[in-house]
């Protein structure tokens, strides 16, 4: 695997844990929220309403001028 042995991967993992230990909970939380939103979007899709809305008085005035 990219010329790295098990020992080197372990050292890299330890270094990453030391450097980013305070950010790991935040990263996990954001990743979990993203997965939940993705699943919700898959199963609970909202229909898009494409019916035109009624023109307002301002819209009619703009068309006249």
Q: What is the pLDDT of residues 9-27, one digit of tens each?
A: 899 999 988 998 888 889 8
- The answer to whether residue 38 sits within a structural domain is yes
- The answer to whether residue 37 sits within a structural domain is yes
**C-alpha–C-alpha distance, residues 12 and 18, integer Å:** 10
Place 62 in a pLDDT band, splitting at 50, 70 and 90: confident
- The answer to whether residue 63 sits within a structural domain is no
- The answer to whether residue 54 sits within a structural domain is no
Domain interval for residue 37: 1-45
**How many domains, the chain?**
1
For the whole prediction, is pTM greater than 0.95? Answer: no
Hunting for tokens 């301002």 — which residue is that?
58
How far is the CA of 12 from the CAs of 17, 27, 36, 65, in angstroms? Answer: 9, 18, 30, 69
Backbone angles phi, psi at 47, to 5 degrees: -75, 145
- The answer to whether residue 3 sits within a structural domain is yes
């Amino acid at each position: 695997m990219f010329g790295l042995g098990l020992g080197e991967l372990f050292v890299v993992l330890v270094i990453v844990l030391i450097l980013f230990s305070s950010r790991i909970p935040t990263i996990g939380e954001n990743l979990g929220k993203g997965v939940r939103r993705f699943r919700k979007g898959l199963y609970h899709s909202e229909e898009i309403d494409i019916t035109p809305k009624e023109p307002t008085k301002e819209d009619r005035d703009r068309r006249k001028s």
